[in-house]
Chains A and B, each alone.
Chain A
Amino acid sequence: MQLYGTDISSRLLLGTAQYPSPAVLRKAIETSRAEIITVSLRRETADGSGAGFWELLKDSGCKVLPNTAGCHSVQEAVVTAQMARELFGTDWIKLEVIGNSDTLQPDVFGLVEAARVLCADGFKVFPYTTDDLVVGEKLLEAGCELLMPWGAPIGSGQGLRNPDALRAMRAHFPDVPLIVDAGIGRPSDATHAMELGMDAVLLNTAVAKAGDPALMAKAMAQAIEAGCNGYIADPMDPRDMAVPSTPTLGMAELI
């Protein structure tokens, strides 16, 4: 899989928030074999005051994808992205512009506007969006080279609320990397996303809040690999009738 020209072999992108401790997080990163970790840049840590935590993640060998989590306006998201570029030395940015503080639903209008500003400024934007096709097109026009549709609201763990829309997205954007971001609760949800032809899955809470985050991280990685292989292998379609799977030729004469 290529994201903005970079070869990435792990299709699991892992968030780094809400773990019981940085030590547990490190273990989860290792067992997940993720190559990309997201780091939330709250405005209050944008001055570098969160360095102690980030220092512990530096030697994980992962590529850092900073995000603009919790930003509610274009201006706020753009400023946060610029701070993140300085702080982490990367032009990758996961762009979140939140439209509703209860559902954490993306404000797709603000998102497109912010994406346009950031892409023009040389950022490689990973936009957290809905499964709306028109919004997807506008984001690509703005300069994004991939899309990150939600599966369900952030942190809800509901799985894929609208798999048909994701299937339509795959068909509509056959050559654009699609990463399901948000809503994954269980490994089967991640498999489901990959079986729909998604290129990768980004998740955080499902691992961080599991009883054993390291084991869940491993399970998610396995589930994603299974779903990916399942999609590539071109699965059979369901049939209405039973079809015997045992050959009839050469049956033993029992009398």
Chain B
Amino acid sequence: MITIAGAGLAGLASAYELAKRGASVTLFEKAEQPGEGSVARFAGGMLAPFCERESAEEEVITLGGQAADWWSQVTTVTRRGTLVVTPPRDQAELTRFARRTSHFAEVSGQAIAELEPALKGRFERGLYFAEEAHLDPRRALDDLATAVQSLGVEIRFGTSAPPEVDLNCTATAASLPDLRAVRGEMAILHCPEVQLSRVIRLLHPRMPLYLVPRADGLFMIGGTMVESNSDRSPTLRSLTEMMSAAFAIHPAFAEASVVEIGAGLRPAFPDNLPRLVEHDGSLHLNGLYRHGFLLAPALAQQAAHHLLKETCT
């Protein structure tokens, strides 16, 4: 029997990998519902290793390369790529982004209009990362919880974990050396007037934004990173900047309904990369930072290998 503390993204993904290898697993989750207590519910759900490489280490590509295939086993993954655009005044941002990334095609205004007709005439240049994908984080967490339960994993909701578990996946609640919280803010907009089928990233020197289309005319917007462990509601400044940026992508967002705003605390180690750490008698999987859905599969596989004493390949 393997015990895991935390049925968030890392805990569920690890349980899935362990159960698939035939292990018997019990998850302890303080919250009453799947995903309710997880910072992942505020995530964008982008599986965008090449875009993330702009400001992250090479590992986001090597560890994140298989994420879309992994998630396709349990939930709906939209493989429509990422479109990166910038206002005409900030073209230099696009050039810099292109220098730091790979696996994209430079696209003209006309090609952008073919990819996303709603953006016709709005941007003259862009970068298209065709191999990237996205998913709906809350649906993915639900689907993953269902998948692990059907593999025989027991999830004890509303139950604190015993002091010692085999695997601790409690994100910022774990007191690990050098682990810190990085605050992120997001909003969900309802805007059926705008039809977009893929993730749009707007580059801007001060207010970069990602906009992730979800079902039923919903869009998630996010992009702030604040070195803070405060989980209070998003600030007016952050919201103003994010919403201005959304308006810069398409003016119809001015009429969008703000369905939800939220802030989450992402656990991060000093190099902003996740890792497995032995601490106080438990193995910890932590530090997924802003790459939860992208890197959880690879880290979960590593955790399963480790716990079942398999040799890592």
Contacts and interface: CB of A to CB of B under 8 A. Distances in A.
B179 to A, nearest CB: 8
A23 B272 contact: yes
Interface string B49-90: 000000111000000000000000000000000000000000
A56 B230 contact: no
B271 interface: yes
B99 A51 contact: no
Contact of A45 (B205, B227, B268): B227
A44 B228 contact: yes
Interface in B151-180: 178-180
A52 B176 CA distance: 11
Contacts of A21: 56-57, 268, 270-273
B20 interface: no
A23 B230 contact: no
Interface string B7-41: 00000000000000000000000000000000000
B272 to A, nearest CB: 4
Contact of B205 (A23, A24, A53, A155): A155
B235 interface: yes
Interface residues of A, number: 20
A61 interface: no
Interface in A87-141: none
A163 interface: no
Given A44-B235, A52-B180, A53-B180, A23 B227 contact: no
A23 B229 contact: no
Contacts of B179: 52
B48 to A, nearest CB: 16
A45 B228 contact: yes
Contacts of A51: 229
B181 interface: yes
A53 B227 contact: yes
B100 interface: yes
A155 B229 CA distance: 26
Shortest beta-carbon contacts, A-B, top 4? A52-B180, A53-B227, A23-B271, A21-B272
